[in-house]
Structure 1
Amino acid sequence: MRINPVLRNEAKITVRNKRFTLMLFFYIVVVSIGVVLYYKSFTSEIYVNGLYMQSTTTLYVLMSIVQAIFLIFMVPSLTSSAISSEREKQTLDILLSTKLTPFQIIIGKLLSSSLKVVMLIICTIPLYGICSLIGGVSIVNILELAGFFIVNTIFVGAIGMLISTYAKTSKVSTTITYFLVLFIYIGILIIAYILFMFSMRNNYMNPNIKVNPIIYLSPVTGFISLLSNQLGARETIFYFFQYSGISSYTEYISIGIQLVLSAIFLYLASVKLNPLKKERVKRKSKKLKE
């Protein structure tokens, strides 16, 4: 099996990098300490009143939310400068002169950056496993959550790769990527909520008002739906989903949208990176001028 040369080279650099090893170590240590302290706060209840099962699901939700926020802020920092940094170091032309196609370069950069985050996700699975041992959360739930995070990582990484091919500097690329990611995650939810409230105000006599479909573009919707379906809390904690007409399969819709958009972003990034396209554009512009 032939491994992408860019991925292989970046993986070697990552393995030899002490910073990533220390980051992985301290991340696991901090999360582990948080889990231990959380369960220690329930020690008295376990011995006096028996095991408090709700504490397991609460820990599962808290860990999921913290890790999701961590991924939102970490992934753009790893992918948003993948191409722009090569341009700043003046090594992009050398990379393009190899036998690799622009798409292979983009995929290699994306996978090498996402691999670091995937390792963090995999390393936290044993901590989620504590919830499964005590009860309330199954192994299947944990694997579904990890899979959702991996898809989410690829989606955010694809956004960073696209911006990185257009931006000339890493600072500009990182800034735009963070702004765009926050808009997709939070901004779309705010817009969908405003449109929903506006519709309720103008049609307050209509009980069948539905939320705008743009809400499916935000991965947060799929994340909330995934947790609510796993914990059986769709009709209680997430009553708004049922009331506003959001599908019960929102997590799968969200995964599908993220994968499709990721493919589109990566294709656009490879087209932008293709040096032959620039030559064709120049030739066409010259012909038009003549």
Structure 2
Amino acid sequence: MRINPVLKNETKLAVRSFKFTLMIFFYVALLSSGALFIFNMNVGDAYFNGVNLQSIVYFYIGMAVIQAILLMFIVPSLTSTAICAEREKQTLEVLLSTKMSTLSIVIGKLLASISRVIILIICTMPIYSITFLIGGVNLVNILELSLFFIVTTIFVGSIGVFISTFVKTSRVATAIAYGVTLFIYVGIIILAYIVIMYNASKANNAQDIAIPLFTYLSPTFGFASLLINQLGNVSGLGFYGMDVVNMAQFEYGNIISIGIQIVFSVILVLVSAYKLNPLNKGIKFKRRNKKKVKNEFKKIAV
């Protein structure tokens, strides 16, 4: 099996680095600390009253929310400098001069960046096994949540690589990537909430409001839909104003969100590869030269 050369090289460098080991350690330690805190809060009186399975559900929700927030901050920092770093080190031209296509370079950079995040997601699966062993959440729920996190990582990673292709400096690319990620995660949900409350104030029946279509672009909506479908209890999530929304839209919300993320990821990768291709710039340059030559001939004729 032939492995992408960029992915192979980047993976070797990342594994040999001590920073990657520290990143895994601190990530698992931080998530374990949050899990231990939530677990002690929910089952603190289990010695006298027994274990309440509903409290384990809250532990599962808290763990999922903490990990989603951590991934939202980790992924853009790893992917937004994928192409910018090569350009700043003046090695991008050397990479483009190889036999690899620009699509292979972009895919290799993307996979090399998100592979470290996927390892983090896999390393935290044993922490979720507490809920599986005690009860309240089954193994399928944990696998579905991990799969959703992996798809979201690919989506946010493709956004970072896309920005890195168009922006020349790493600092600017990282800042833009964080801004776009924050808007996708939080901004779209705020806009959707404003639209829902506005429609509810005008509707006669304020218990069947449709969710705006642009809400499906946010991974946060897919994440909430996944938890609702797994737990079957909206009140357990504590979302204010959910009583006015038509809950049937959440039934396939996570599946639609995953599909949209995959489609946009493919589009962003293809556009990044097209932008990175130096032949496209050459075509534009030749066209401009033809225009200049025509203008010079016109001046000579006059």
TM-score (norm 1): 0.94
Offset of residue 179 of structure 1: 0.7
Matches of 2:98 and 2:245, distance apart in 1 = 55
1:28 alignment counterpart: 28
In structure 2, distance between residues paired with 1:241 and 1:266 = 39
Cα deviation, 1:157-207, whole Å, max 9, x if unaligned, reads 000000000001001111111111111111111222222233334x33355
The alpha-carbon distance between structure 1 residues 242 and 197, as it changes in their structure 2 partners (threshold 3 A), is closer
Report the alpha carbon displacement of residue 41 of structure 1 after superposing the two structures with TM. 4.3
In structure 2, the CA distance between the partners of 1:89 and 1:135, relative to structure 1 (3 Å rule), is: same
Change (3 A) 1:36 1:182: closer
Percent identical pairs in the alignment equals: 51
- Shift, 1:212, TM fit: 1.4
Evaluate the alpha carbon distance shift between residue 81 and residue 241 of structure 1 in structure 2; reply closer, same or farther with a 3 A threshold. farther
Cα RMSD of the aligned pairs, angstroms, is 1.8
Q: Equivalent residue for 1:240?
A: 242
Structure 1 residue 46, shift from structure 2 partner:
1.6
User: Quick one: distance in 1 between partners of 2:52 and 2:200?
Assistant: 40
Distance 2:47 2:199 in 1: 52
The structure number with the bigger radius of gyration is 2
> Of residues 247, 255, 259 in structure 2, which corresponds to 1:252?
255
Matched, 1:2 2:8: no
For the Cα contact (< 8 Å) 2:152–2:261, is it kept in 1?
yes
1:249 Cα shift? 0.5
SS of the equivalent of 2:137 reads coil
**In 2, are the aligned partners of 1:79 and 1:113 still within 8 Å (CA)?**
yes
Report the counterpart of residue 205 of structure 1 in structure 2.
204
| TM-superposition CA deviations, 1:105-129 (whole Å, max 9, x none) | 0000000000110000000001101
Deviates more, 1:207-216 or 1:263-272: 207-216
Q: Structure 1 281/66 Cα, relative in aligned 2: closer, same or farther at 3 Å?
A: same
The alignment partner of 2:45 has SS state of helix
- Partners of 1:66 and 1:93 in 2: CA distance: 40
Kindly tell me: are residues 46 and 69 of structure 1, through their superposed partners in 2, closer, same or farther at Cα, counting changes over 3 Å?
same
8 Å CA contact 1:103, 1:266 repeated in 2: yes
Q: Is the 8 A contact 1:75 1:157 kept in 2?
A: yes
1:120 match: 120
Contact 1:155 1:259 in 2 (8 A): yes
Among 262, 275, 278, the residue aligned to 1:275: 278
Corresponding letter in the other structure for 2:273: S
Report how far residue 136 of structure 1 moved.
0.4
Determine if contact 1:102/1:271 at 8 Å carries over to the other structure: yes
Question: In the TM superposition, what is the alpha-carbon distance from 1:254 to its structure 2 partner?
Answer: 0.2
Gaps of 5+ in 2: 295-302
- In structure 2, how many angstroms separate the alpha carbons of the residues matched to 1:169 and 1:37? 40
List runs of 5+ in structure 1 lacking aligned partners: none
CA distance in 2, matches of 1:121, 1:252: 20
Deviates more, 1:96-105 or 1:41-50: 41-50
CA–CA separation in structure 2 for the residues paired with 1:176 and 1:260: 22
Distance of aligned partners of 1:39 and 1:191 in 2 relative to their CA distance in 1, 3 Å threshold: closer
**Higher mean Cα deviation, 277-286 or 119-128?**
277-286
Q: Distance in 1 between matches of 2:199 and 2:43?
A: 49
CA drift at 1:224: 0.4
Distance (whole Å) between structure 1 residues aligned to residue 184 and residue 5 of structure 2: 32
Deviation of 1:36 after TM superposition, in Å, equals 3.2
Aligned residue in 2 for 1:101: 101
Q: Determine the structure 2 residue equivalent to 1:181.
A: 181
Q: Which amino acid aligns with 1:280?
A: I
Deviation, structure 1 residue 236? 6.5
Cα distance change, pair 197–34 in 1 and its aligned pair in 2 (3 A): closer
Question: What residue number does 1:72 align with?
Answer: 72
Q: Please tell me whether the aligned partners of residues 188 and 214 of structure 1 are also in contact (alpha carbons under 8 angstroms).
A: yes
Matched, 1:265 2:264: no
Are the aligned partners of 1:45 and 1:52 in contact in 2 as well (CA < 8 Å)?
A: no
